[in-house]
């Protein structure tokens, strides 16, 4: 099966879905951007679960391109799926790692039985990935994935990012 792709402009922490994907860093201990917003609004249950994951399995950090789930605390979701995007590099092609973030997030969502999943534009903020390329990879990877997730909802912060995703989705609908 493939997921239906939808686009929303707004704050991902306002979404009501089974799982919210977090653009985390490998420490799993929070940060700025989406990560900061998720921990702020979701409350300490998320950080506690992240600490437990570090202690049990990811003492050296969650590797870039992988994904792992915790409860969603006070967010209107059952789970947060934390994935670590690659930092943008103009000299090295790190696309495979960004592709892996979306594939692994969907794999974890399938393991959990999540049917609706909200995604941010992973790596396209603090990690510096150009939005058009981030959107192309995000939409192309999710569209091609074999998954039980019914709706993959990209939640874009601001009109500009929304417009870029909209154009990319229209392109992939044509092709
Ligand atoms: N809802 C939806 N999108 C958002 C929100 C929000 N509340 N806040 C920001 N964005 P970023 P990254 C957009 O920086 O590039 C953290 O410190 C943002 O405008 O959150 O993967 C982590 O701990 C951008 O388009 O994630 C890592 O250290 C997109 O979400 C590092 O940042 C991703 O921006 C990860 O950087």
Residue with tokens 């870029």: 164
pLDDT band at 39 (very low <50, low <70, confident <90, very high): very high
pTM of the model: 0.98
Cα(38) to centroid(ligand 1), Å: 10
pLDDT at position 80: 98
Residue 174 has pLDDT above 90, yes or no: no
Measured from the CB, is residue 85 less than 6 Å from ligand 1?
Answer: yes
Instruction: State the chain's mean pLDDT as an integer.
Output: 97
How many whole angstroms from 156 Cα to the centroid of ligand 1? 10
Tell me the CA–centroid distance for residue 31 and ligand 1, in Å. 9
Exposed/middle/buried for residue 135 (C-beta within 10 Å: 0-12, 13-18, 19+)? buried
Catalytic site positions:
35
Structural domains in the chain, CATH included, are 4-174 (3.40.220.10)
Q: At 20, is the secondary structure helix, strand, or coil?
A: strand
């Amino acid at each position: 099966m493939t997921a239906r792709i939808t686009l929303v402009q707004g704050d991902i922490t306002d979404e009501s879905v089974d799982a919210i994907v977090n653009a985390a860093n490998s420490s799993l201990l929070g940060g700025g951007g989406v990560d900061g917003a998720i921990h702020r609004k979701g409350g300490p249950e998320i950080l506690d679960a992240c600490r437990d994951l570090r202690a049990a399995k990811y003492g050296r950090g969650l590797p870039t391109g992988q994904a792992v789930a915790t409860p969603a605390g006070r967010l209107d979701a059952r789970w947060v799926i934390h994935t670590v995007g690659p930092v943008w590099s103009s000299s090295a092609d790190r696309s495979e790692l960004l592709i892996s973030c979306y594939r692994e997030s969907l794999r974890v969502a399938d393991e959990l039985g999540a049917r609706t999943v909200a995604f941010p534009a992973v790596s396209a903020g603090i990690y510096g990935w150009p939005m058009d390329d981030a959107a192309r990879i995000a939409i192309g990877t999710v569209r091609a994935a074999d998954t039980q997730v019914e709706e993959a909802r990209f939640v874009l912060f601001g009109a500009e990012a929304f417009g870029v995703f909209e154009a990319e989705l229209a392109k992939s609908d044509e092709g």
